[in-house]
Amino acid sequence: MSDHQTISELTAAVRSGRTTASDAVAGCLQRIDTHDRVLNCFRETWPEAALASAREIDRRIAAGEDPGPLAGVPIAIKDNIATTTGTTACGSRMLESYRSPFAATAVRRLVDAGAVPIGKTNCDEFAMGSSTEHCAFGATRNPWDPDRVPGGSSGGSAAAVAAGLCPVALGSDTGGSIRQPAAMCGIVGVKPSYGRVSRYGLVAFGSSLDQIGPLTGCVADAALLLGVIAGRDRHDSTSSDHAVPDYLEGLDEPVAGLRLGVPKQYADPANDESVNRALDEACEVYRDLGAEIVEVDLPLTRYGVATYYVIAPAEASSNLARYDGIRYGRRATLAAGENLDDLYARSRAEGFGPEVQRRIMIGTYALSAGYYDAYYGRALQVRRLISEEYDRAFAKCDAIIGPTSPIPAFRLGEKADPLTMYLCDVYTLNTNIAGICAISLPGGFAETDGATLPVGIQIQCPAFDETRLFRIARMHERAVTHGRRRPDLAGAAGNGS
């Protein structure tokens, strides 16, 4: 099996007998064993369970049965998505031994479609971060340059796919946590519309913002994967009953006649030069394909960071209150004379890392008496304005195109100041705030300090317009070669420290 097969290539090989699901899974496990000591994409793998599932797929194919559209496809699961195999730790000491009694709906639907989960990928603790450095189990490294971050918080999933350790992975996106690492690792990442995919089994961070989505090597794989996991779920009252179309149908339909909006705020001189170059190139590609490029105005882009970092920490403060050492999570050992309050404080101090503690404190402050209206209430008002701003922009265009991240992957430890880290998500946050859908795809490369680093292009569409989103992304993918280039893992192993 190739290190970078698509789903269609792999499933065709498994169904035809040219390979087996067992060989596909064993190949992934072998590559993880070889390369993950440097990259640290996986917190844990499940060789016995994965190979047993693969053998069952092979048995069903041999018996003439149809195991589903993902027959034998190995898939990695982000560590904040519940599985009944292994543990679900959310990158945190607070939950490092937690075993879920149920699987997330998205995971269950993948398994029902024939996919084979192979392990949990590292992430920023409770999905709070943009670099996968804030992980209790060590930082994940970028396969293009192990001295750099893969992005976050779904950095383990993105790096694993980019490195060919697995063909596809699940991540979660609360403010860019699928798209930003996809951009920094040179792959495809999709943030579905809010409600398109069930959040049941996704450990809550910001409940009005969170969405599960795919990280893949190509647009068609992302479309197929989303089609499997999307749809109404009785376990999640926020999941939508919008019909789930066949996202592969019409995927190669030309974009001639479509209007693509470029916000004037996105071509910012503060962006890395390679980012603005990639945006200009993408616009030229679409013009050559017959699309019309129009300017749109999203003046509230610069307020997204402030708005998000009130709403998301406020929801996190509420969601993470349950981890007190009594009902959920790590329980500290009390010293003589300490009381219940000491147990709460010690358990949370031991279980939560600095970034999670910071966001809980911000959220608690924003929700406190006397400050609720000034901060949280005001943030909700700006959220409505951001959503209305997108509505006005989409009245002038069919989709919005821009950068995914203002910079390529940065060095490990380079952004110790939280604010500089938060600003990396300036182009992705408002997508979640408005609840619309977006995709990041390879847009080019930056040559930085001797390293070749991917740069991502983001496309945004109105809520539940993923069909058009995939079509527009696919036309760019067909016209350029950026997504076909892969990192040199032999060189990466030599550079890792």
- What is the structure's pLDDT at 344? 86
Q: Compute mean pLDDT per 10 residues along the chain, 497 residues long, and list them.
A: 84 96 98 98 98 98 97 98 98 96 98 98 98 98 98 98 98 98 98 98 98 98 98 98 96 96 96 97 98 98 97 97 88 84 90 96 94 95 98 98 98 93 96 98 95 97 98 98 92 54
Residue with tokens 């590609």: 285
Quickly tell me which residue has 């190739």 as its tokens: 2
pTM: 0.96
**Token pair 């009252």 in the structure block, residue:** 237
Question: Can you list the domains of the chain with their CATH numbers?
Answer: 7-259+463-495 (3.90.1300.10)
Beta bridge partners of 217: none
pLDDT of residue 497: 45
Contact 399, 148 (CB under 8 A): no
pLDDT, residue 336, reads 79
Query: Sign of dihedral through CA atoms 434, 438, 443, 448?
Result: positive
Report residue 434 CA to chain centroid gap.
17
CB neighbour class for 356 (10 Å; exposed up to 12, middle 13-18, buried from 19): buried
- DSSP code at position 374: I
Give the separation between CA 58 and CA 76, rounded to whole angstroms: 20
Q: Provide the sign of the torsion angle of the four alpha carbons 160, 164, 166, 167, taken in this order.
A: positive
pLDDT of the residue at 495: 53
pLDDT of residue 41: 98
Question: Which residues are the active-site residues?
Answer: 78, 153, 177
Q: Which residue has the tokens 């097969």?
A: 5
